[in-house]
A and B are shown apart, each in its own frame.
Chain A
């Protein structure tokens, strides 16, 4: 089974107008058309799982994950009941829901599954699933938004979800059901009179969408608290979904973004945005807050079971805190360095251009920013061996190569020759070879694979690459 992945992300509005009355307002119709386009793209991506994070499903006891395989009822909105009723019958992946719940526990996060006849699926989830998955052909999972959760819980919730996606080989699409500015008109209005509640809300919405259109999702995540203060009514659930969605995308800033529609729904800002994982742009980002791998609780201040031991952390997600010091890549007239690639462990650049060729320094799987090793390190800080995933490491190596080549203005298709180094040929060659076939094998470079005793960091694979230099640079 190949490793699972996120094949796309979408941001969609929550109010029922796009389902029940799109024809009453041109803007609502444009949002509906954008929903339909998003549904088409999800089909084309051959996604086999839709994951909905809904801001209209608040929870208190941790996060709740819908696990009724076939929830059925009729939804009526608390405010917009006069628009009509929405009968629903959804196809929920209960097995994935339970696996996600267990993965949360491994990362220290409280959650639970819910499976009760008549459970009221919230309006945001109903709208998203009705329009993005109209024929119910793609199994879905819905998760609540915990009213007390902060960035750490919400980020870890995403990482545990990714754990399950990867482990189960799913091709998943992540969806946040949310408004941008959420201030509605507090009196009934005629549909034709709908507009964003204020100029200030509109300006903030457009700035958020500018970022998202450039694929700068993590930047929006880092701005979540500011956005919440500026344009969000203090409802039960704060502006958390960008934390979750950015976590689902590896906290990246170089996604390929596209705003499919932006309109008002009773004054609130509603947008349909597509974020493709294909890297684009420079990926610069400024971190105000650290990345979080495990949730360490509320220090028992409010924990009803405060004496319960913390769960064991996931061994395959930890990164080594020791190892050689990291260097800034050296700069020179012909050097190519990327913020989106891991820092060197010595005084050298990521790549050098000589004539029509690019020579890359040896590339490993370490992640830029965090230095984490996908698939886990091969040994702990004391040198004791750990289990690790060679396929995850190999895939990360290829991604890092891609980022460096893109920084130079090229792409992975420019690779001509690769020398690969494995620390355990017997154990790892098969997995390494499988990922190679899915990635660089399709590009067609020459290849040499060597067994070596060790690499400078606790990784199992490294590649030395020669590529064509892009023309015109």
Chain B
């Protein structure tokens, strides 16, 4: 009941209210109150392990002298933005749990182990202990199955959670005090095309949204991917030497800025429309489907997103972006 009261308060309180959409928000907020479920925010939350390495949390074995501050401060701003927002769970799609036989979901209540990044083991050896919201996971899984998507619950207790999930999970919520729903990256782009991948991810996004709204829970959805994704093939002797860090090419920069402009001006549909070109030409990590899925869970938002940070990591482009869905419950327009 306390949650309901707080939400009602946010509805009627002018200082918390988005005045730009006064006319038709009320009925939709009421509907939201009745079903209770809500996506409070959707975020693009990239996962290069360098960010955790540079933070020096106790869970990670290697020790760094800082680095990638622009992005780490971006994550700080994102956390600050959501500091006073109540939510029950985080739904996360990581491109580093790559599955070829459909979409998979972590399906046990807890996963605890050591994650060593097979690409950057010198930077990321993280002792994780995360909880799964199995009920919400099952709801999304079941809805996806009803929609005709190939889905599987991953229930092997020996399974090691991928470093993308852990990095985004840590940078977004270092306290790990919220349960997660973890969704694999179905590599349908590899098998078919960006267009087919996007069709499937948009469908998965829709059922994810429906399941969240029906669950009665408040949720943050996170797509864990970089933008342009061309790496340097060598590493500095000191990995956090920022004098060596920059985008790999001007073309990659132009693509990243184009996408960010669409984020900042509420043009999600254009992002989806240009996804094939962006994915191919910027070798973008959107190939894993996370960004398409995220925009679909947000019902293809038309309001401006907040850019909390942009920076490069070993040459790849990374943006930390928040769509404050809690202020825009009208969704698609």
Cβ contact of A120, chosen from B104, B122, B160, B187, cutoff 8 A: B160
> Does B231 touch A at the CB level, under 8 Å?
yes
Is the CB–CB distance between B119 and A58 below 8 Å?
Answer: yes
B233 near A60 with CB under 8 A, answer yes
In the complex, are the beta carbons of A122 and B118 less than 8 A apart?
Answer: yes
Within 8 A of A (CB), among B69-127: 97-102, 104, 114-116, 118-122, 125
In angstroms, Cα B121 to Cα A59, docked, is 11
B13 lies within 8 A of chain A by Cβ: no
- Tell me the smallest distance from the CB of A10 to a CB of chain B, in Å: 23
A114 to B116, CA, bound (A): 11
Docked pose: A28 CA to B315 CA in angstroms = 42
Q: A458 → chain B, closest Cβ, in Å?
A: 36
Q: Are A62 and B233 in contact (CB under 8 A)?
A: yes
* Given A81-B156, A188-B101: A119 touches B121 (CB 8 Å cut-off): yes
Q: Does A151 contact B (CB under 8 A)?
A: no
B236 / chain A contacts, CB cutoff of 8 Å: 304-305
Whether B101 contacts A266 by the Cβ 8 Å rule is yes
Q: Fill in one digit per residue for A77-106: 1 if any B CB lies within 8 Å of its CB, else 0.
A: 011111011000000000000000000000
- Cα–Cα distance between A452 and B115 once the two chains are bound (Å): 64
Q: Are B156 and A304 in contact (CB under 8 A)?
A: no
Beta-carbon nearest neighbor of B185 in chain A: A78
* A305 surroundings in chain B (CB, below 8 A): 234, 236, 244
Decide: A59 and B101 in contact? CB cutoff 8 A. no
Measured between beta carbons, the chain B residues less than 8 angstroms from A58 are: 118-119
Q: Which residues of A contact B104 (CB under 8 A)?
A: 78-79, 81
Is B184's CB under 8 angstroms from A78's CB? yes
Which of A179-187, A213-221, A415-423, A441-449 forms contacts with chain B? A179-187
Q: Which of A148, A185, A298 contacts B101 (CB 8 A)?
A: A185
Q: Assign chain A's interface to a size class.
A: 35 or more
The B interface is mostly helix, strand or loop, or mixed, namely loop
* B234 and A110 within 8 A (CB): yes
Pair B101/A304 contact, Cβ less than 8 Å = no
Q: How far is the CB of B213 from chain A (nearest CB, A)?
A: 27
Contact of B231 among A60, A183, A233 (CB under 8 A): A60
Q: Are B97 and A78 in contact, with the CB atoms below 8 A?
A: yes
Contacts of A74 in B (CB 8 A): 158
Shortest A87–chain B CB gap in Å is 9
Residue B8, interface by CB 8 Å? no
Contacts of B231 in A (CB 8 A): 60, 148
Complex Cα distance A315/B14, Å? 79
A186 in contact with B119 (CB, 8 Å): no
CA distance A185 to B191 in the complex (A): 10
Of chain B, the residue at the smallest CB distance from A185 is B101
**Bound complex: CA of A60 vs CA of B231, how far in Å?**
7
Pick from A79, A117, A119, A120: contact of B100, CB under 8 Å: A79
Contact of B121 among A81, A110, A116 (CB under 8 A): A116
| Contact present for B119 and A82 (CB under 8 Å) | no
Q: Report the nearest B residue to A298, measured CB to CB.
A: B233
Of all chain A residues, the one with the shortest Cβ separation from B150 is: A187
> Are A78 and B98 CB-contacts (below 8 A) given A110-B234, A120-B160, A187-B150?
yes
Top-8 shortest CB links A-B = A85-B158, A81-B156, A118-B114, A187-B150, A304-B232, A76-B159, A74-B158, A116-B121
Name B's A-contacting residues (CB within 8 A): 97-102, 104, 114-116, 118-122, 125, 150, 152, 154-156, 158-160, 184, 187-188, 190-191, 230-236, 244, 248, 314-315
Give 12 pairs: A residue, B residue, CB < 8 Å, sorted on A. Answer: A60-B233, A78-B98, A79-B99, A79-B100, A114-B121, A116-B125, A119-B121, A122-B118, A186-B100, A233-B190, A298-B233, A305-B244
